[in-house]
């Protein structure tokens, strides 16, 4: 039975009961390197490939909005009830802006809501999730939190963050001055392995052939895993994605990955480890546990005694054949398996050059901006009447934001009001005379 949350138009559909999520931990083989955690066994037996391996082939998606760590206010609570999930779905996971800038929903928007550079609205993020009633992806430690860093790990991370200060993604200005200020995935090099969900285009095609498993991630990574027991490469030959070796334990695919580069990935989209944590000493054990024909429970155990005080394990459910109620594939006229398309990241990466040039430009512009008294910045503190007197009625109003045009008709001018006074203007560095009065 397919279990899926479809979140669209603010409503939620839950189909069926998820038995396996409530299952107790059954004593199974403990992944080497953990303390007491044992991956729950599954009774499901998948079909076999012609050469006798369990057949897990197909396109899988791990799209979820379950956070990695259990939030503090949910300490001790491992799962949500169905009713709680329904309520949560209505308020979270919806990436749409509060208002479309010019409609009545803006009336209730705050200045911060409107003065925000949205990456993408909900259009770009698929509004469906693999069903999961847990409050965190982490299964071990039982408190659902990443274990503390060792003193060495903490020092290393702090040093990295001093050199690359992180900012809130929605900060007004993020200065990229060097390509390494971007993370690995945004540099179009690779994604961290293993990869968690990347917001969109997160599917993985699991392909098998005698003696091999290949994992083609929709974006960036292609992992090739030999199953013949050959030794690891050694050193850092595994590069960004590490060097993986796999084998079957019953119907579970077990993959051990070492040999990662020690260079920084900078956190990154789809990351499971934050910025400031190099992978050079990692030993990662993944367990792909099939629990149904369209579902795998994917466990990842991360070992690095130089970084964390103990190993830890997270689990993400994967689901196959994620077909939504509208056409998911180009030209599809009926429900079909998800089709991955080419993701030529580096080829189209204009963002890198634009951002670097942007920093060069912004620094130059700061040097030549008009004096505050002559610039729009001086409008802060003015009243609505003051602004009307200078520029007439605004061209449009969106909640607290008044909009005027400028000389070229392209650049717009925004004045944001709170309690009848201007609290913010965009742009704040053009001349007062560049704003065109609306008479």
Q: What part of residues 199-258 is at the interface with another protein (CB under 8 A)?
A: 199-201, 205, 207-212, 214, 216, 218-222, 224, 226, 228-231, 233, 237-241
The yes or no reply on residue 433 touching another protein (CB under 8 A) is no
Question: Least separation, in Å, of the C-beta of 26 and another protein?
Answer: 26
What would you report as the CA-atom Rg of the chain, rounded to the nearest whole angstrom?
Answer: 25
> Three-class SS string for 23-76?
CCCCCCCCCCCCCCCCCCCCCCCCCECCCCCECCCEEEECCCCCCCCCCHHHCC
The yes or no reply on residue 113 touching another protein (CB under 8 A) is no
Question: Least separation, in Å, of the C-beta of 51 and another protein?
Answer: 6
Judged by CB under 8 A, the stretch of 94-102, 249-257, 287-295, 380-388 that binds another protein is 94-102
Give 30 or 362: the residue with its C-beta nearer to another protein. 362
The yes or no reply on residue 387 touching another protein (CB under 8 A) is no
DSSP state, residue 371: P
* Contacting another protein within 166-205 (CB under 8 A): 166-179, 181-183, 186-190, 196-201, 205
The yes or no reply on residue 438 touching another protein (CB under 8 A) is no
* Contacting another protein within 263-322 (CB under 8 A): 267, 269-274
Residue 108 is encoded by which pair of tokens? 């209730």
Residue of 197, 284, 277, 202 whose CA lies nearest to 238: 284
Which residues, in sequence order, are CB contacts of 330 under 8 Å at separation 6+?
339
The yes or no reply on residue 421 touching another protein (CB under 8 A) is no
x/- string (CB under 8 A) for another protein, residues 129-158? Answer: x-------x-------xx-xx----x--xx
Give 115 or 256: the residue with its C-beta nearer to another protein. 115
* Contacting another protein within 30-69 (CB under 8 A): 49-51, 57, 63-69
> Rounded distance, CA 350 to CA 280, Å?
30
Helix segments in 174-253, DSSP class H:
none
- Of the candidate residues 101, 247, 310, 421, the single one contacting another protein (CB under 8 A): 101
β-pairing verdict for 4-8 and 128-130:
antiparallel
DSSP state, residue 237: T
Residue 216 phi, psi (nearest 5) = -100, 110
Residues binding another protein: what is the number (CB under 8 A)? Answer: 156
* Contacting another protein within 322-381 (CB under 8 A): 324-331, 339-363, 365
- Of the candidate residues 407, 418, 433, 437, the single one contacting another protein (CB under 8 A): 407
CB 45 within 8 A of CB 53: no
Cα angle 119, 120, 123; round to 5: 175
């Amino acid at each position: 039975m397919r279990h899926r949350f479809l979140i669209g138009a603010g409503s939620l559909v839950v189909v069926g009961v998820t038995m396996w999520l409530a299952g107790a931990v059954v004593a199974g083989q403990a992944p080497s390197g953990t303390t007491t955690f044992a991956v729950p066994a599954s009774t499901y037996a998948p079909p076999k490939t012609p050469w006798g391996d369990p057949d897990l082939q197909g396109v899988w998606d791990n799209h979820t909005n379950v956070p990695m760590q259990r939030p503090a206010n949910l300490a001790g609570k491992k799962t949500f009830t169905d009713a709680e999930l329904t309520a949560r779905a209505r308020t979270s996971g919806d990436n749409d802006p509060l208002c479309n800038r010019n409609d009545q929903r803006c009336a209730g928007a705050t200045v911060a809501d409107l003065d925000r550079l949205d990456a993408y609205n909900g259009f770009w993020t698929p509004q469906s999730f693999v069903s999961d009633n847990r409050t965190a992806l982490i299964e071990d430690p039982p408190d659902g939190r990443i274990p503390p860093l060792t003193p060495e790990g903490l020092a290393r991370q702090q040093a990295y963050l001093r050199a690359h200060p992180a900012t809130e993604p929605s900060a007004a200005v993020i200065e990229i001055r060097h390509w390494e200020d971007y993370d690995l995935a945004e540099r179009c090099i690779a994604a961290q392995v293993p990869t968690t969900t990347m917001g969109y285009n997160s599917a993985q095609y699991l392909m098998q052939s005698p003696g091999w498993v290949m994992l083609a991630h929709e974006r960036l990574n292609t992992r090739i895993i030999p199953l013949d027991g050959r030794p690891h490469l050694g050193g850092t030959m595994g590069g960004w994605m590490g060097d993986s070796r796999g084998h079957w334990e019953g119907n579970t695919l077990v993959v051990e990955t070492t040999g990662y580069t020690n260079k920084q990935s900078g956190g990154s989209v789809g990351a499971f480890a934050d910025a400031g944590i190099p992978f050079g000493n990692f030993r990662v054990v993944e367990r792909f546990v099939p629990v149904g024909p369209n579902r795998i429970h994917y466990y990842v155990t991360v070992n690095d005694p130089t970084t964390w005080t103990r190993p830890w394990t997270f689990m993400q459910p994967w689901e196959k054949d994620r077909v939504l109620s509208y056409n998911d594939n180009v030209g599809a006229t009926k429900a079909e398996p998800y089709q991955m398309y080419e993701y030529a990241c580096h080829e189209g990466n204009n963002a890198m050059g634009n951002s670097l040039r942007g920093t060069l430009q912004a620094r130059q512009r700061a040097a030549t901006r008009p004096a505050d008294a002559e610039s729009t910045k001086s409008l802060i503190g003015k009243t609505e009447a003051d602004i009307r007197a200078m520029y007439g009625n605004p061209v449009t109003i969106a909640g607290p934001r008044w909009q005027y045009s400028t000389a070229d008709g392209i650049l717009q001018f925004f004045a944001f009001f709170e309690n009848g006074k201007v609290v913010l203007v965009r742009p704040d560095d053009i001349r007062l005379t560049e704003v065109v009065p609306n008479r």
